[in-house]
Chains A and B, each alone.
Chain A
Amino acid sequence: MSLRKAEKNQQTQADEKWSVSEGTWISSVCSMCYGGCSIKVKVVDGVVRKIEGNSDSPLGNGRLCAKGTSGIMTLYDPSRINYPLKRTNPEKGKGIDPGWERISWDEALDIIAEKMKKIHQDEPRKLFCMGTTTCASMMRNSVRSFTVSFGTPNFFSGGGGLHCGNGAHQVAGQTHASWSIVPDFDYCNYVIYFGASKGHAAGHAGNTNAQLSSDARSRGMKTVVVDPIGFQGAAAKATEWVPIIPGTDTALAIAMVNVLINELGIYDAEFLKYKTNASYLIGPDGKYVRDTASGKPLVWDANAEEPKAYDDPAGDLALEGSYEVQGVKCRPAFELLKEHVRKYTPEKAEEITKVPARTIRRIAREFGEAAQIGSKIVIDGHELPYRPVSTIYFRGAQGHKNSLYACIAIDMLNFVVGAADMPGGTLGFCPAGLGHPETNRPAFYPKAGLDGLLVTGIWMSPHTPYPIREPAQPRTMGLGEMFPFALSSPFMVSSDQEEMWEKIGLPYRPEMILDHGSNPIMSVGNDETVINSVKKIPFIVISELYLNEFTDFADIVLPDTCYLERLESAPNHPPILNHPAGMGRWGWPIRQPVIKPLYERRDFAEVLLELAKRIGISSNYFATLNLMQGIESPYRLEMEGDYTWEEVCDRQLKSHFGEEKGLEWFKKHGLISWPKKAEEVYWRAFTKARAPIYWEFILTAGEKVEPIAQKYGVDFVESYYRPLPEYNPCVSHEVKDPEFDLYGIYYRDIMHTNSFTMQNVWLDEASTRDAYIYYINLNTSTAARKGIKDGDWICLESVKGRKVWGKANLSEAIHPEVLAVAGCTGHWSKDQPIARAKGTFFNALLEIDYEHASPVNLNMDNCVKLKVYPSAPEDKGGVERA
């Protein structure tokens, strides 16, 4: 009886701690992925008790995914790094214990600052900075600013970019003025996803998009998903799943454009004439025919029957025909497009993609018909074109050598039917904003630039995607100058980097890595190559949550704060990264520490301020922060000033929202929110900026790149530098050995972000229950052919002899020629006991070199041809199915 009483007693006490009424809610912003959802965190006695979505914010509307809710276990994980650590074992290698020794912050900063000071005086470009896409806002607003102010162009976002979007982000910037694209879920009736999962996955406003996509599905929106795998993401929710051979989406998309404009004659002529460069006259050299005086591209005025500059208020612009202007025979770009796509018949596309020609024709027709070309809708008092169809692309379609053309071709469908940034169509993530009504800040708006083409109003890095960089002799580790369409470069860690640097005569070699949270050993390609590359760098400093495969090579490790212990004044800015598109409200929340950083963890933003001070580059840093964070007078950071991170944040907020609304106001209120306007969401209808459907500037860039490439003995591949998209095969498509008969791809599971969430104990528990995440997924019939049974250990072997092992999961919902693994599983660091030996490390199969990268934008090819056979590894690791 006394036992029972004691229990009861305990229960009542506990009741007080976790009951609904106990504790305080603090508003902040999630960072378990780069989606940046607004959260409310309940704190009881200084302990985080619960994380929920913030229902006052349009960024998530009070809802949250598994990762967001599981942040508690990332905060309190005993495997977290809590003190600065110094390496004592000079020998570096996989599986070699660095011999960590705890040191003080002062000592750590002294060592780092001394080294950096030397590099800064000697050659700042020897500093190689890294950031993680998981903390995208932190990467842009702090780490990159620091990199720029230090004077080094060498920045790398782990595998980010190489995998997710050298093509996707750059093309979205050039055509939608934004980082990514998404269907206008509020109005869209028919959407085609190409290797994308917007609304069914993590990242880029994933949570809000899930709400919107579910609403759209309930409303009856049809979703066609082109993807090799059908067991997850958008494909699992699709009205129709169209399985495809990886890396061939371009052929399918061009064939659909062909069916629309040549077979069905469905296209939005008005849109093409005034919102794209379809009417620009193209000469026999493939370039714009320009007005001799002004240099402006010419169009043909069909009423006046004469050429005019593109921005002349002309009568009716010709899209077809053949003309002679200034003694040159020329045709409108659209005419060339029509001709160009003819060779991509659905039958030819079927050969490449294995999607039946019948299906291609049907989907193209359904898409064209659903576009309702000519229809209008009134929104917010504005009569706008109503185009309730959309096509979007993302990592799946663009994660190949042909990345650039894949995005161009898929997006072309939007432009042909006039659905780009129109109601119901395909929207960029919030590229236009007129600012808060009280301050008109922050304001940004896409505008017409060089040759009338679209220039972004705001961008993730200082250089806008258009006009592209002028090709030049490379002087950066990544050789970006030679590849003006690249956002990120494999040469930062590739197997042929030294060879390339030799060729171009790189005048320095990296001497130090300063990394915030990225783990390139797991997130780029095969670990052997990355390890060889980072091992050469004598001094590596990493600010991290956990010791991992990369910290094994570090000299100093700094204990980073996680997002619940961190301050950021602009976690959702610029909104092109993760602010929900479509009508609704704007939201600008702040990320604030909900508890004091535990142990000696320190916010890396503060560390950077301190380092800048010690190195003596504070004034540079403040200037860059002013620029990147949009801090205007009178709140600008003074060059000679000395600011804490709180003060920087305070000034940014006041600069945007007025004296009253500084950090204190935001800490209390969490966020500021105001309604969106139709001019912002459907900005394209309100601007004269045109999007390219004829990519003349790829052609001209190629002409400039070619001599540079030849000069340095780097391969120039002409078929990637044409003004209209072509299907170029991946390396894997050209493997002829019949033993290697399966395409290996990885996918991003909705439960995980990059590699770091694998250590979250709640997510791991959920993943262990999942039939797919920790398994190698392949089609039932394929497995039967190879004598593989469900749960069998199998080996994946690449043409280059790289091998990984895992357990098979047999699925009907995957292409029979494809095998898929959840990305970034298969950690091996003993410092991550939860993540260790769960799943299969797919990236180990990927080559990192120029051969496997796009010759135009350096995007890495993420598919690989594999031999698959039953085989058990020595170290089984792995998990048992729940």
Chain B
Amino acid sequence: MQLIWKPQLAWNWKIACYLYLAGLGAGSYLVGYILKLANEPAVARSAMLISAPLVIIGTLFLIWDLGRPTRFLRALMRPIKSWIARGAWLLTCFTVVSMLNSVLTIWLFNVPEGNSVTILQSLGALLALGVAVYTGIMIGIMVSLPMWNTSILPVLFLVSAVSSGIGLVYILITANGETFPLAILEKMMLPHLGILIFEALIVYFYLANVAKSDPRDVHNLLKGKLAGVFWLGFISLGLILPLLLEALGTILDSGLKSYIIFLAGLSLLVGGFILRLVILLAGNLPPVVLGRR
């Protein structure tokens, strides 16, 4: 008989949606915040505006996944000890702050930009950072599953969140060419190329690190059942394609550009989801091995 690495089945695509949407929401807020600092208030506002609904939808997926959805508020019970509860708090706080920001800056236009808004938005950014990092921590703390149990995951999920956030902003801009000047893209593409390369490096570093202690899971991901999803869905669609498209976008200067960047944004969004899904599914409970003291 072969020793069996049992796939974890408790957390499935719903949790992947949750992780993804929470990350995307946080990411788009962060991108919006940075764009604001970079003097692009209109795009920044939209990016920040969309973050709270995304996080809320993500949370709905989480609640849907609960065995007892009506008890969801109890997830906030033990922030002192439980990372899950801390995460729930982070998400709640971020949602509240982000929505407050939206309410103040969008619907109540009269609130002038000023110290109080900046403080609020900075607080939001801090919380967004927390949320994005937290989605990695949530699964990174599982000592049971070697594929997850690494401190690189929070970093990876943060970078991926930002990247997906940028993807979302690309779509916002390219889909509303009249409202937003395409010139903003020029500001974003080059740094984002850097981010993508950085993300690829982290993924490599992550897998190499896991493989050192338990090559089986990594093998499963690269060559096993999940290989198709991983290579096509994440590496090709989520990394290489946007890389190429954006590279093309930086060089090209024609009407096609907006379509290319729109596509890049779309593939970034899909890739971000695939990344979470594939990592969730790659979690295997290793067998008990006798003789290992």
- The residues of A with any CB-CB pair to B shorter than 8 Å are 3, 231, 771-772, 790, 809-811, 881
Contact = CB atoms under 8 A, between A and B. Distances in A.
Nearest to B4: A881
12 contacts: A3-B70, A231-B1, A771-B1, A771-B2, A771-B4, A772-B1, A790-B2, A809-B1, A810-B1, A810-B2, A811-B1, A881-B4
A815 to B, nearest CB: 16
Contacts of B70: 3
Interface residues of B, number: 4
Give the interface centre of B1, B2, B4, B70 by most chain A CB atoms within 10 Å: B1
Contacts of A3: 70
Nearest to B1: A771
Given A231-B1, A811-B1, 10 more contacts: A3-B70, A771-B1, A771-B2, A771-B4, A772-B1, A790-B2, A809-B1, A810-B1, A810-B2, A881-B4
Interface in B60-77: 70
Nearest to B71: A4
Contacts of A810: 1-2
Interface in B1-32: 1-2, 4
Contacts of B4: 771, 881
A98 B2 CA distance: 43
The 3 closest A-B CB pairs, nearest first, are A771-B1, A790-B2, A811-B1
Nearest to A791: B2
Nearest to A3: B70
A231 B2 CA distance: 13
A768 to B, nearest CB: 13
Contacts of B1: 231, 771-772, 809-811
A790 B1 CA distance: 8
Give the interface centre of B2, B4, B70 by most chain A CB atoms within 10 Å: B2
Nearest to A780: B2
Contacts of B2: 771, 790, 810
Interface of B: 1-2, 4, 70
B291 to A, nearest CB: 15
Contacts, number: 12
A790 B4 CA distance: 11
Nearest to B2: A790
Contacts of A771: 1-2, 4
Nearest to A771: B1
A809 B1 CA distance: 6
A570 B276 CA distance: 65
A772 B1 CA distance: 8
A736 to B, nearest CB: 33
A771 B287 CA distance: 13
Nearest to A809: B1
A82 to B, nearest CB: 37
Nearest to A812: B1
B253 to A, nearest CB: 55
A838 to B, nearest CB: 17
A810 B3 CA distance: 11
A10 B1 CA distance: 44
A717 B2 CA distance: 46
Nearest to A775: B1
A111 B6 CA distance: 56
A809 B2 CA distance: 8
B209 to A, nearest CB: 29
Contacts of A790: 2
A771 B1 CA distance: 6
A3 B4 CA distance: 41
B227 to A, nearest CB: 17
A253 B1 CA distance: 31
Contacts of A881: 4
B9 to A, nearest CB: 12
Contacts of A809: 1
B106 to A, nearest CB: 39
Nearest to B70: A3
A546 B212 CA distance: 54
B94 to A, nearest CB: 30
B148 to A, nearest CB: 22
A747 to B, nearest CB: 15
B68 to A, nearest CB: 10
A769 to B, nearest CB: 10
B210 to A, nearest CB: 24
A3 B70 CA distance: 11
A809 B4 CA distance: 12
Contacts of A772: 1
Nearest to A777: B1
A790 B5 CA distance: 14
A7 B70 CA distance: 15
A724 B1 CA distance: 41
B10 to A, nearest CB: 15
B7 to A, nearest CB: 12
A811 B2 CA distance: 8
A57 to B, nearest CB: 35
A811 B3 CA distance: 11
A810 B1 CA distance: 5
A380 B10 CA distance: 61
A771 B2 CA distance: 8
B211 to A, nearest CB: 22
Contacts of A811: 1
B73 to A, nearest CB: 13
Nearest to B3: A771
Nearest to B6: A882
A810 B2 CA distance: 7
Nearest to B68: A3
A590 B2 CA distance: 45
A811 B1 CA distance: 5
A231 B1 CA distance: 9
B59 to A, nearest CB: 23
A350 to B, nearest CB: 29
A591 B48 CA distance: 77
B2 to A, nearest CB: 5
B55 to A, nearest CB: 29
B154 to A, nearest CB: 33
A790 to B, nearest CB: 5
Nearest to A790: B2
A550 B62 CA distance: 53
Nearest to A772: B1
Nearest to A881: B4
Contacts of A231: 1
A45 B1 CA distance: 45
A790 B70 CA distance: 44
A575 B93 CA distance: 75
A810 B4 CA distance: 13
Nearest to A770: B1
A8 to B, nearest CB: 15
A231 B4 CA distance: 17
A3 B68 CA distance: 12
A779 to B, nearest CB: 12
A881 B70 CA distance: 35
Nearest to A4: B71
A482 B230 CA distance: 71
A5 to B, nearest CB: 14
A811 B70 CA distance: 48
B42 to A, nearest CB: 48
A771 B4 CA distance: 10
B236 to A, nearest CB: 29
B27 to A, nearest CB: 38
A598 to B, nearest CB: 35
B43 to A, nearest CB: 47
A866 to B, nearest CB: 21
A790 B2 CA distance: 8
A3 B1 CA distance: 47
